[in-house]
Structure 1
């Protein structure tokens, strides 16, 4: 069983011009392939370094975002003239629960007496609002102002 000479497995395909491919084209292909792989490797390395740098505790930031969201809901209720206790109490209760998390969230400030004082005043303002809930928009305005002043005082001392 003999095979025809053009069907051998080791035979090179004939090019259309009859010349073998130049080595410059091969070098260019290998260079471009190396360039693409290098760019991919650099992007992966930079993303890894960025992820390592941003890997931190999000607990303090999340607590502040939640407090901010609930206080924004109270402001929106005030602007919409929806100041009934049923509209206000859920947000005040959530803010009170988050107030319990202030010291654990900011562990580096836990032993600072000024921070403990601010956290206590914040919880105290919300406790008084929960003890006698605001029944109208004037009461809600006074409550949100008192809570906002406590927040501003703490931010003034600790956020710089």
Structure 2
């Protein structure tokens, strides 16, 4: 039987110090992680702030070109499948000077941008018929991109 008289509660042991220390450790760990993330984001924003627009523009151009190539590979080569990609590429081509303001005055860059836009204007003026034509158009667009990347990448 128990040593406590009937009608009384048994004495509770006080919580162990280890539980309190463990709780404080976890609380300190969480606060430390949050503070570290805030500090790192602040430092990143201060010293490595950069414009992500040029990189994003290149990613979207690559995605549009890849979709056009994928359509050709899937035998979806009608003008209704190709024209939206060509129009998007042409519209994005208008932003080269805005995306790369440091290169705006470089004659080679201006030539490459004009060549890219010219290639797309020709493709929009006479849309490719058939998958072979779409692949040739895609190759010409790729060559225009490659020429610029060889000089400025």
Class of the TM-score when normalised by the shorter of the 2 chains: 0.7 to 0.9
Q: TM-score, normalised by structure 1?
A: 0.74
What is the rounded CA distance, in whole Å, between the counterparts of 2:134 and 2:37 in structure 1?
52
What is the rounded CA distance, in whole Å, between the counterparts of 1:140 and 1:33 in structure 2?
60
Distance 1:118 1:35, change over 3 A: same
Equivalence map 1:1-160=2 (5 Å): 32=25, 36=29, 37-38=31-32, 40-159=34-153
How many pairs are equivalent? 140
Q: Which runs of 5+ in 1 are unaligned?
A: 1-14, 18-23
Task: State the structure with more CA Rg.
Answer: 1
- RMSD over aligned Cα, in angstroms? 2.7
Q: Equivalent residue of 1:133, what SS?
A: coil
Per-residue Cα deviation, 1:115-160 (whole angstroms, up to 9, x for no partner): 000011100011001111001111111111111001001011100x
Deviation at 1:32, TM superposition (A): 4.9
Q: Which runs of 5+ in 2 are unaligned?
A: 1-10
What is the rounded CA distance, in whole Å, between the counterparts of 1:33 and 1:71 in structure 2?
50
Deviation at 1:42, TM superposition (A): 3.4
What is the rounded CA distance, in whole Å, between the counterparts of 1:70 and 1:39 in structure 2?
40
